Amino acid sequence: MSLISYLTLAALVFAIGLFGVLTRRNAIGILLGIELMLNAVNINLVAFARFHGDVAGLVFTLFTIAITVAEVAVGLALVIVIFRVRRTVDADRLDLLRG
């Protein structure tokens, strides 16, 4: 297995995640898309660490996983609060910032 195949996998996962973020109307779906994109980055970091023989990438990945967990916890909490207030988590209808 060469580095290129790992990077291709990561790029695919990233693209799927981005697609999800852009197309899902449900806020939870968008959060899932963001998770996919972050994990694509993790795959990249681990792959580079493996092929360059440098543990720094592994350490970074651990950090990223921990931060991602925190981010999801905060994000889901926000979504729940929004649902309680607005009775919807449809991203199209959460447009308070429209100019």
Does the protein bind another protein through residue 98 (CB under 8 A)? yes
Q: Which residues does 60 contact at the CB level (< 8 Å), separation at least 6?
A: 45
Q: Which of 10, 13, 30, 40: binder of another protein (CB under 8 A)?
A: 30
Distance of alpha carbon 92 from alpha carbon 45, whole angstroms: 34
Site for another protein in 36-95 (CB under 8 A): 91-92, 94-95
Among 18, 58, 79, 82, binds another protein (CB under 8 A): 18
Smallest gap, in angstroms, from Cβ of residue 24 to another protein? Answer: 8
Which residues contact another protein (rule: CB under 8 A)?
18, 21-23, 30, 91-92, 94-99
